Amino acid sequence: MQSPDLLLAIDQGTTGSTCLLVDQNLRVLARKNREFPQHFPKPGWVEHDPDEVWASVCSTLAEVMAMSGVDPKRIAAIGITNQRETSLIWDRKTGRPLHRALVWQDRRTAGHCEQLKRAGHEDLVRQRTGLVLDPYFSGTKLAWVLDHVDGARARAQSGELAAGTIDTYLVWRMTNGDVHATEPSNASRTLLWPLAGGGWDDEMCRLLNVPKQLLPDVRPCNANFGTTKNVPGLPDGIPIHGIAGDQQAALFGQACFAPGEAKCTYGTGAFVMLNTGTSPVISRHGLLTTVGWQLGETTTYCLEGSSFMAGAVVQWLRDGLQFFATAPEVEAMAASVPDSGGVVLVPAHAGLGAPYWRPHARGLISGLTRGTTKAHIARAALEGIALQITDLLAAMEADMGGKLSQLRVDGGAAANNLLMQLQADLLDVPLARPKNLETTALGALMMAGLGIGMWSDIGDLKRAWDGDREFTPNHENPQIDELKQHWVAALKICQ
């Protein structure tokens, strides 16, 4: 029998789960994605059913193995990457969730965050965790479940319950409940983990009223997170050896290993992340300071800016407004008009993230006339995505004290050439797109491979990055200044 020589990634995202099987050269042997239902019980509330998430993972695992035709015993290790702040609580004995998972887009704890701000805790939170008080993060979500499910707090105090982000839940399910663990990139998104590391923060746990007994063990990203047990379609005993939150995994997968290197991932949301090296940099312009990854004893830190709606705007045009049947059609529709005709779309459907931090903001379309068509709105949607990223990069450059030389891009919407050119023009920075846009999954695979010694160091991985296309700014684009002026005016309405 051939010895284990393949790597398997599970990329558990906001709207679907993807599995990727690769060889030692990171050549993709099989890939499969499956969407799962989104639940919106009230305006501003976004939930996932953990069983539906797990079912989507199991089905993609089975389909990838069937597509590849390889013996699953050839899998040397599994890497996991995940939507980050989405969190849930479950029973340690039965595995049953107490409530649906509260998704990172969920806004229900905005009032709790406002109370904490009024009480004067924001500076402490910023200095201790690098984050801001916003319902985006996991801590207030966990507190909400404990406060709204009968008996949950007493059960948490007695040690009957376990909590975690989606990576933690998947590890728990894949090891048949043997391992309750996460790693620093996910832990640093909870409001409960100090930037300096060293364990869950007692003061933050008291402030948010989240018992430490609920929380998982925290291990380096390339540590051993147990082995598979009773996972449909996989043999027992495959090590889980690489975990990182999706945006950190994408930065790693883009080979942005040096300070000053940055990427933007255009997924459900859009996320800009800049490597700042082994020392955290506290932002002065509304960005987040977060753990990038920990390999062994060395921690890498990042600045991050998050836009909550990117690909999700296109999904909304497709499903909510029925502008087109498939998401890729947005490019041709938007390109059918030379400009947006004065229409501005602010994608604040789930509030505004960095650098604005307006949790109560809502989406806005302005500048409509009798001549406005679907094409104008579709183009305005792409412009709105790009304009949010432009504001994020401006804040990042202000924190850096200099201009980026290049931005690496990935994610599903990075395949949209019109969006990428608009982005390059607005930023006045060249964009580099890799041949493989699955950089989130690749980052988890790279960490898993490092964890089992498949590669000796990150130098081998940096040489493996393969570019597809560079988008050079068009300095002759006459629309840029007008777009920015209309955008600033529209943002003032989104209070």
Between 227 and 482, the higher pLDDT residue:
227
Mean pLDDT of 236-247: 94
> How does pLDDT run across 163-172, given as a tens digit for each residue?
999 999 999 9
Does 339 have pLDDT greater than 70?
yes
Note the residue count of the chain.
Answer: 495
Helix pair 374-400, 417-427: axis angle to 10 deg: 40
Does 477 have pLDDT greater than 80?
no
Q: How far apart are CA 271 and CA 246, in angstroms?
A: 10
> How does pLDDT run across 181-235, given as a tens digit for each residue?
999 999 999 999 999 888 999 999 999 999 999 999 999 999 999 999 999 989 9
Distances (CA, A) of 257 to 3, 272, 289, 423, 462: 30, 15, 17, 23, 8
Among 230, 128, 104, CA closest to 178: 230
pTM of the model: 0.86
* Helix or strand (DSSP H, E) at 471: strand 467-471
> How does pLDDT run across 94-117, given as a tens digit for each residue?
999 999 999 998 999 999 999 999
Chain mean pLDDT for the chain: 92
Mean pLDDT of 282-309: 90
Mean pLDDT of 388-409: 89
Does 495 have pLDDT greater than 70?
no
DSSP annotation of 4 reads P
Q: What percent of the chain has pLDDT over 70?
A: 99
> How does pLDDT run across 432-441, given as a tens digit for each residue?
998 887 888 9
Q: How far apart are CA 175 and CA 240, in angstroms?
A: 9
The pLDDT of residue 110: 93
The pLDDT of residue 458: 79
Specify the amino acid at residue 132. Answer: V
The pLDDT of residue 451: 87
Whether the CB-CB separation of 78 and 19 falls below 8 Å is answered with no
Mean pLDDT of 407-430: 92
> How does pLDDT run across 47-89, given as a tens digit for each residue?
999 999 999 999 999 999 999 988 899 999 999 999 999 999 9
Whether the CB-CB separation of 127 and 282 falls below 8 Å is answered with yes
Split at pLDDT 50, 70, 90, the class of 90 is: very high
Does 355 have pLDDT greater than 80?
yes
Please name each of the domains of the chain with its CATH number.
6-245 (3.30.420.40)
The pLDDT of residue 439: 86
Among 377, 291, 388, CA closest to 347: 388
Split at pLDDT 50, 70, 90, the class of 354 is: confident
Whether the CB-CB separation of 9 and 309 falls below 8 Å is answered with no
The pLDDT of residue 63: 94
Does 1 have pLDDT greater than 80?
no
The pLDDT of residue 245: 95
Which tokens hold the place of 438? Answer: 């699955």
The pLDDT of residue 351: 85
The pLDDT of residue 115: 95
